[in-house]
């Protein structure tokens, strides 16, 4: 995350928000596993929040522009490639904003659940059950369940 500039910015940096979303999501998940990482050094947390605040201001401005661009469009207009990109960008920036809000709690909270913009929703019950078992194994550190999971076949 960049530090806020000391002077006025003349050119806006180009960011790939899908990459930022991926990195923020990974960081959020890792910190959820070891929450003391963020709170052990108060000065580091203060600087991190300063950077997050600067980034969040830019994100919120971009969200506002995207909502203005999409609002009032018919379903037919939203199906165009340009508008589909705006819809995905809005979902991506909303996810980033949600993760940032989670990290701003004192102490940081890891309760928000987001649906990643690059991941397609899965309606297959077998895959959902498989994902639930895998998550349960790693959350509870039950090594004996991992053997069971490795033999599960998904058609």
Using the predicted structure, report yes or no on whether residue 145 has a pLDDT greater than 50: no
Note whether 94 and 35 are same-domain residues. yes
Give alpha helix (H) positions in 71-113: 75-78, 81-104
What pLDDT digit, counting tens, does each position of 49-92 carry?
998 998 999 899 999 999 999 998 888 888 888 889 999 999 99
Residue 155 lies in a domain: yes
pTM of the model: 0.71
Note whether 78 and 149 are same-domain residues. no
Residue 10 lies in a domain: no
151 is in which domain, residue-wise?
A: 122-155
Report pLDDT for 24: 93
Using the predicted structure, report yes or no on whether residue 111 has a pLDDT greater than 60: yes
Using the predicted structure, report yes or no on whether residue 140 has a pLDDT greater than 80: no
Note whether 108 and 141 are same-domain residues. no
Asked whether the beta carbons of 11 and 83 are under 8 A apart, the reply is no
């Amino acid at each position: 995350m960049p530090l806020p500039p000391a002077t006025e910015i003349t050119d806006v940096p180009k960011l790939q928000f899908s990459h930022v979303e991926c990195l923020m999501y990974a960081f959020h998940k890792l910190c959820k596993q070891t929450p003391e990482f963020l709170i052990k050094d108060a000065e580091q947390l203060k600087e991190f929040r300063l950077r997050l605040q600067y980034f969040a201001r830019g994100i919120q401005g971009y969200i506002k522009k995207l909502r203005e661009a999409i609002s009032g469009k018919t379903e037919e207009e939203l199906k165009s490639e340009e508008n589909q990109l705006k819809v995905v960008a809005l979902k991506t920036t909303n996810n980033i904003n949600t993760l940032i809000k989670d990290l701003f709690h004192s102490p940081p909270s890891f309760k928000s659940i987001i649906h990643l913009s690059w991941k397609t929703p899965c309606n297959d019950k077998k895959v959902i059950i498989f994902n639930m078992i895998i998550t349960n194994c790693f959350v509870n550190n039950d090594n004996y369940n991992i053997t069971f999971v490795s033999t599960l076949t998904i058609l």
